[in-house]
Chain A
């Protein structure tokens, strides 16, 4: 059964139509990637699904709920979590306080300490810097914090918007490893990436987004060997 189902979703900014009615689905346990160039509508798709920007038509069904018109904070309470583009960690809060915010949607969490410890175990750098103001972390550390923060709410669906952006090649590999691990532990993943090679390699399925439309879809492997994808996104 599909955990997330996007049907004919259309988003307009004034006169510009950013999404021209896209449809796709994410099944439970999958890693699904949306690849596409700058301005293809990837971030718009992510923000529109989680209710940060309104859609004009179409529907989004998540875990049996129609969340098309639901405000963002309520969608998050249904177990959806997002690592936004540009990380957007809370610069003035400490690493620990950022994690507290990540767990905001769980009321009276008895296992809060264990949850935090689990994140620290996964990201030892965060443990070392737990009382440091997040604004003083390096880009890579902020990405780790953004991912740890998103996992604090035990999401069923984790969405990541360009998690590899601006990171060194070594860190990029680490980020993809972590995404794979999260997925193995049972989190369904929807990924948006410009780094098509690395993301297709870990994806069960993928969609190619171009000018607000889905132009191609298939398994990760299929798309990796597709001539069009090779030419447009894999540099040859």
Chain B
């Protein structure tokens, strides 16, 4: 019973990682860049929830505000910081992304200070069924993420814009020949990734109410790891990698002997998987076009 509870908890944590990993993987697939500021968008979302709840007291409004603000932020970052670097060396883009990450963290620290803020999103209590005791927030996280990932999968597979995203990720030039505005598709990708980050921020605050300016740093790195494990650029890969990461983390945390090394274990899995499959679990080997 204890193990099933751990597993549910792991899947819930994993679905939060998956939501963040999707942002990394979609942006990488379409804009061919690693957006290392992605984790900090979660943190900004967290502060939006904090501000909204402090003034209006409603967590759902907080989530909505976070989604709207993060989407605007993600699109703005892309436009101001990354778009001028289209065609520049990957190293320049990477350094810019790290710069944006510090900018967001420092700005948050200037506005909100360095002491953690407490955000009690909602006390949902526990639910008991079939001999299990599971906190409700875990089920909410799991349920919401599943629905969002399903909607995203359907969107990418069956809508014109979704298919255009696949086309752009595969061959930008050919996509332009179809009349696809690549800049617009990249913008939409950043918008989707940032909205998912806002949700992830909400889920993280439900789990633990403490909020500071580095809230997104570690989950960001772990979700990036999850995206690489699943195969960077692959949407199902990000979901799988995120889930795997969450389950491993949850199980590891329940075993006292290895609990302190949980983070190390997660990154060790990355190394092992990359040794066996350099493209990640669902990643495809792709010819680089010249």
Q: Which residues from chain A sit less than 8 Å from chain B, CB to CB?
A: 50-52, 71-73, 76-77, 81-82, 84, 88-93, 97, 100-102, 104-105, 149-150, 153
Contact = CB atoms under 8 A, between A and B. Distances in A.
B166 A90 contact: yes
A225 B180 CA distance: 42
A100 B171 contact: no
A101 B177 CA distance: 10
B168 to A, nearest CB: 10
Interface of B: 160, 163-164, 166-167, 170-171, 173-182
B143 to A, nearest CB: 30
B181 A90 contact: no
A100 B174 contact: no
B164 to A, nearest CB: 6
Contacts of A150: 177
B164 A104 contact: yes
Contacts of A91: 170
Given A73-B182, A91-B170, A81 B163 contact: no
Given A97-B163, A100-B160, A101-B163, A90 B170 contact: yes
Contacts of A104: 160, 164, 178-180
A214 B57 CA distance: 73
Contacts of B171: 88, 90
A100 B179 contact: no
Given A100-B160, A100-B163, A101-B164, A92 B170 contact: yes
A82 B179 CA distance: 11
B167 A84 contact: no
A182 B181 CA distance: 27
Nearest to B284: A92
B177 A82 contact: yes
A105 B174 contact: no
